[in-house]
Every structure is written in structure tokens, then in C-alpha cells.
Chains A and B, each alone.
Chain A
Amino acid sequence: MKIHVQSRSGKPLGTLTLPNDADVPALKAAYAKQTPSMYVDRQRFYLPAVGGAKPVALGDRATLAAAGVADGGTVVFKDLGPQISWKAVFVLEYLGPLLIFPAFLLGQRAIYGRVTPPGSVAAEHQVALALAWALHYAKREFETLCVHRFSHATMPLGNLAKNCGYYWGFAAAVAYFAMHPLYTPASDAAYISGLVTFYFMEAGNMWCHFKLRALRPAGSTVRRIPMGGPFSYVSCPNYTCEIGAWVAFNVACPTVWGWAFAACGAAQMAVWAAGKHRNYRKEFDGKDGRPLYPRSRKALIPFIW
């Protein structure tokens, strides 16, 4: 079958010859062969807009015939721009905080012109807090490289600056005050309870990530209901633990910027949790042999929300 490709403005971009049973990935591969700069991850195809309706994107799972593209039909091409792998983005965005916090501690004299009095409570706290922060991001790097499976291969390169800006910027803001020679430490009770809770939540978060990985065998798209442990109470206990860890960190290390970072993260994770919870309930509705998602399970906060 012959498929005509045009830009969103209607400019012809070429004609592709494909097998009659070709699917969207085959279309993308053929277009990448014709236009090498437009590699597969950079492409998105749409059906031409009819009237004032929005153009319909062609999903990767559909065959062209099923999507309504006949022999001699036309598809609209959109360039998604330069892409970067999700894994690379995560590695880079977490590398900043991993290095920034210890850098502020080790470079006190260069940054502030003085150091926290050696042997003081503040100095002891700062070492433990810098270690806790660094371990959190070391854990994230490990999970990115060895645990997480990404449903999308790439994201737009422009997102790299945004994501790195968020993590690196907050890391610098929190570290500047947390590692300051004039840092005022938390009380012993707040410091100890905060750090203990932080590590407990980190362990919980990691357990959840391993549990989620085990739910989906490599290379498959099968979806199951997560069960056991904190999953009995909430749909996204990994987010619950993450938020809990940052709240605990800020109890042990009280800074305005730290609380701001925790609040921004919690707000974003609440949005994600609500979406995932909604999808779970919609997908596992108990009909046509599908399991029923536990009705008592909440999105993020056990028994509440």
C-alpha cells in the first residue's frame, strides 16, 4: 500500500510503500529510512483533521488499516524534536543533587568564607544530613539503572533543562542553608526521629519499587493489581513513602527551602497518585473476567485519600 505523508501545514513530505498489513511502527521505520534525521522516537503521525475536529494521533499498537488509513491515504507527520532517553534524563537530573549537597559541606570555606565550628552539634548534624541526602539520590540512580522499566523510551530534549533545573536548583537552595556555617540544628528529638523515619521511608519506597518491577515481566505490557504490604492501603505507597521521607528529612533538617521542595514534590506526586488510582479503578472494574480493584484502597494517604 502507498501512504502519502504531509506536514501539519499540508506540505507533501513524500510517499511510502508499505505492506498491506503494516502497523504504525512499520510506518515510522519506513519514514526514518526515507528521512534519516527523523529517527523513530522523534516521529508522531496523525490522521488528517476533518472539519474543526482535533487530529487523531496514531498509536503504536494499531495497524494502519484498523486506524482508518487506506491504500493511497494520507497521514500527517509531526516532528517531536530532538529526543533523549528517560534513563539518561533521570541519571543526569539525580546526579546534580547527589554531588551538590556534599560539595556545599566539603567546600564550606570556599563558599561561605568559614566553616561550621568542628565538633559542634551543627557540624555533626550536617555530616549526617549530607549523607542522608546523598544516599537518597544514590538510591534513585541505582533504581534508574537497575530497577525501573520505562514505558516510553524517550522524552523531548528540552525537558532535560527543566527537570535538571528543578532538582539542581532545589538541591543548591536547600544545601546552601543546610550546610551553612551558621546553620541552626534541630532539637535532638527532632533530629533523631526525623533521620530514623527518613531511612525507614526510604526502605519502604525501595521495597515498593521492587514490588512494582516484579508485577510486570520484562518485555511484556501485562498489568496486574499490586498486593501486599502498604499496597493493601494505598495505590501508590512509593509516593507515600517518598513524601514521608522528605517530611522526615525536614524535621531533622529544618530549612524553608527544604519544606518548599517537599511541598512541590508532594503536590506533583498527589496529582500522579490520583491519576494512577483512577486508572487502576477504571481498568480493574470486575467485569468480563477482569479482577475488581479493592474499593477500600485509597490513592496516597491510608484511610483518608
Chain B
Amino acid sequence: MALTMARGYLFVYNMAMCLGWAYVLGRLLVTVANPPPPPDPGYPHTPVWDAVEAPLKLFQTGAAAEILHAATGLVRTPVGTTALQVSSRLFLLWPILAGLPPVRGRAAVGSLVAAWAATEVPRYAFYAVGAAGAAVPRWLVWLRYSTFLPLYPLGAGSEVALIVAALPVVARARGAYLSLAMPNRWNVAFDFWVWCAFIIVMYVPGLPFMYTHMMRQRRKALGAAPKTRAM
């Protein structure tokens, strides 16, 4: 009974997330195909962000549930890897994009949302079919474990570009935006600019580590590439 309920919940969750990300992707494509006219001078031109803001916030924040799924053993994925991926995205979504309006107009916002959405639609579809207990079609397995090949570097590159774009904005508000200076009764200080710089540095070992991790998963899921005979 409990198992059926858990699978039912996972099916509903993954299906909702799949449809949600498909909606985000649809909004993005419509906006790119029919870009709205730029506003009056002096106003920020953020067409992609304006189009996807609400569903992006909802469905990307909803991914935080995946950490709980892993931690409670509902799904067999490592908690650490899941937490790392979800938290890095939430960092981009909330303090960077939602918190810093000047960053929203960058072209990298479009490539970021495209990479995220195009990765998540097949991933959640794959999980939903699995939770339903059905056989996952070969093409969906291939999509699930292949979309990251071009999209992971695109997404990571966009993330770094947006954090770099945020640095001067944070520097202008230094000490005022998400920062805490000494003295205070907790005897702790936090400088958001330093944190952003640290995150950028962490992408250097982080990206190859995560990419090779995904490659290993891909090999495991798709099996070794069929050997071709020399003619």
C-alpha cells in the first residue's frame, strides 16, 4: 500500500514537473519567435524573464523536493549530488535573477532557461514513466541520458556568465545586498560578492566532475556503444 502511494506520488510529482518545464520551454520559444518591442529608453528590456518568471520560479523551486526524496530514500539517488545541482540552480534563480533586475536582460538568461527546460522535460518524463511502472521507451532513455551532452556546458556557461554579470551589480551595493558585516552578536560576516566569486571558482572543478558523473550514468544506462567492425 505504502509502496503504491509512494509511486503514485512520484508519478504525479514528476508528471507535474515535466508539464511545468514543457510550459516554461513553450513560453521561451514563443518569446524568442515573437520578441516583444523594446520598452521606452531607461526601462529594462527583459523579455525572456518576463515571459518565464512565474512558472520558472514555481517549477525550479519545486525541484527542492528532490533533495527530500533522496534524503528519505523515496528515490535511489545520492543526496549530495542532488543537493548540489538543485541548490546551484536555486542560487541562480533567486539571489541572482530574482534579486538583481539588471542581470535579467542578459542574453544568457535565454540560453540558461533553454538549457534547463530542455534537460528537465525528458528527465521528468523518464521518471514519470518509471514511477507508473511502465517500460520506458528506448528513445526516452536515450533522450534522458543524451540531452546533457550539449546542454550541460551551455547551462553551466550561462550560469557563470550571469554570476559574472552580477558581480559589478553586487559590488555597487556592497554590504547592502545579502551581506552581513561585523560587529554583530553572532560574530559572523558574509559578503555576497565574495560568495559569488567563490561559486565561479567552484565551477572549474565542479563542471568536469558533474559531467564525468553524468557520462558514467549514461554509459551504465545505454550500455557500451556497439562495436563496429573494420571493413
What residues make up the interface of A, taking CB atoms closer than 8 Å to B?
A: 177-178, 180, 182-184, 254-257
Closest CB-CB distance, B189 to chain A, in whole Å?
Answer: 7
Closest CB-CB distance, B188 to chain A, in whole Å?
Answer: 4
Q: Is the CB of B182 within 8 A of A177?
A: yes
Q: Is the CB of A254 within 8 A of B183?
A: no
- With most chain A CB atoms within 10 A of its CB, the pick from B182, B184, B187, B188 is B187
CB 8 Å contact bits of B155-185 with A (1 = contact, 0 = none):
0000000000000000000000000001111
Closest A residue to B188 by beta carbon equals: A256
Closest B residue to A258 by beta carbon equals: B187
In the complex, whether B139 has a CB less than 8 A from a CB of chain A is no
Q: Is the CB of B188 within 8 A of A184?
A: no
What residues make up the interface of B, taking CB atoms closer than 8 Å to A?
A: 182-189
Q: How far apart are the CA atoms of A178 and B187 in the complex, in Å?
A: 7
Residues of B within 8 A of A184 (CB): 183-185, 187
Residues of A within 8 A of B184 (CB): 184
Q: Helix, strand, loop or mixed for chain A's interface? A: loop
Closest B residue to A254 by beta carbon equals: B187
List the count of A-B residue pairs having beta carbons below 8 Å apart.
26
Interface CB pairs A-B, < 8 A, 12: A177-B188, A178-B187, A182-B183, A183-B182, A184-B185, A254-B185, A254-B186, A255-B186, A255-B187, A255-B188, A256-B186, A256-B188
Q: Is the CB of A177 within 8 A of B183?
A: no
Residues of A within 8 A of B186 (CB): 254-256
Closest CB-CB distance, A120 to chain B, in whole Å?
Answer: 12
Closest A residue to B190 by beta carbon equals: A256
Closest A residue to B185 by beta carbon equals: A184
Closest CB-CB distance, A263 to chain B, in whole Å?
Answer: 14
Closest CB-CB distance, A122 to chain B, in whole Å?
Answer: 9
Closest CB-CB distance, B205 to chain A, in whole Å?
Answer: 15
Q: Is the CB of A182 within 8 A of B188?
A: no
Closest CB-CB distance, A87 to chain B, in whole Å?
Answer: 31
Residues of B within 8 A of A180 (CB): 182, 187
Closest CB-CB distance, A104 to chain B, in whole Å?
Answer: 13
Residues of A within 8 A of B189 (CB): 177
Closest B residue to A112 by beta carbon equals: B182
Q: Is the CB of B185 within 8 A of A182?
A: no
Q: Is the CB of A257 within 8 A of B185?
A: no
Q: How far apart are the CA atoms of A102 and B172 in the complex, in Å?
A: 36
Closest A residue to B189 by beta carbon equals: A177
Q: How far apart are the CA atoms of A178 and B188 in the complex, in Å?
A: 9
Residues of B within 8 A of A255 (CB): 186-188
Closest B residue to A122 by beta carbon equals: B183
Q: How far apart are the CA atoms of A254 and B186 in the complex, in Å?
A: 6
Q: How far apart are the CA atoms of A177 and B180 in the complex, in Å?
A: 13
Closest CB-CB distance, A218 to chain B, in whole Å?
Answer: 41
Residues of B within 8 A of A183 (CB): 182-183, 187
16 new A-B contacts at CB < 8 Å, known A177-B188, A254-B187, A255-B188:
A177-B182, A177-B187, A177-B189, A180-B182, A182-B182, A182-B183, A183-B183, A183-B187, A184-B187, A254-B185, A254-B186, A255-B187, A256-B186, A256-B187, A256-B188, A257-B188
Q: How far apart are the CA atoms of A183 and B186 in the complex, in Å?
A: 9
Closest B residue to A176 by beta carbon equals: B189
Residues of A within 8 A of B183 (CB): 182-184
Residues of A within 8 A of B187 (CB): 177-178, 180, 183-184, 254-256
Closest CB-CB distance, B182 to chain A, in whole Å?
Answer: 4
Closest CB-CB distance, B181 to chain A, in whole Å?
Answer: 8
Closest CB-CB distance, A253 to chain B, in whole Å?
Answer: 8
Q: How far apart are the CA atoms of A255 and B182 in the complex, in Å?
A: 11
Closest A residue to B181 by beta carbon equals: A182
Closest CB-CB distance, A81 to chain B, in whole Å?
Answer: 21
Closest A residue to B180 by beta carbon equals: A256
Closest CB-CB distance, B3 to chain A, in whole Å?
Answer: 25
Residues of A within 8 A of B185 (CB): 184, 254
Closest CB-CB distance, A40 to chain B, in whole Å?
Answer: 34
Closest CB-CB distance, B98 to chain A, in whole Å?
Answer: 25
Q: How far apart are the CA atoms of A183 and B183 in the complex, in Å?
A: 6
Q: Which 5 A/B pairs are nearest by Cβ-Cβ distance?
A: A256-B188, A182-B182, A182-B183, A255-B187, A177-B187
Closest CB-CB distance, B11 to chain A, in whole Å?
Answer: 31
Closest B residue to A253 by beta carbon equals: B187
Closest A residue to B183 by beta carbon equals: A182
Q: How far apart are the CA atoms of A257 and B185 in the complex, in Å?
A: 13
Q: How far apart are the CA atoms of A184 and B187 in the complex, in Å?
A: 6
Residues of B within 8 A of A254 (CB): 185-187
Residues of B within 8 A of A177 (CB): 182, 187-189
- With most chain A CB atoms within 10 A of its CB, the pick from B183, B185, B186, B188 is B188
Q: How far apart are the CA atoms of A254 and B184 in the complex, in Å?
A: 10
Q: How far apart are the CA atoms of A289 and B185 in the complex, in Å?
A: 58
Closest CB-CB distance, B184 to chain A, in whole Å?
Answer: 7
Q: How far apart are the CA atoms of A41 and B113 in the complex, in Å?
A: 53
Q: How far apart are the CA atoms of A184 and B181 in the complex, in Å?
A: 12
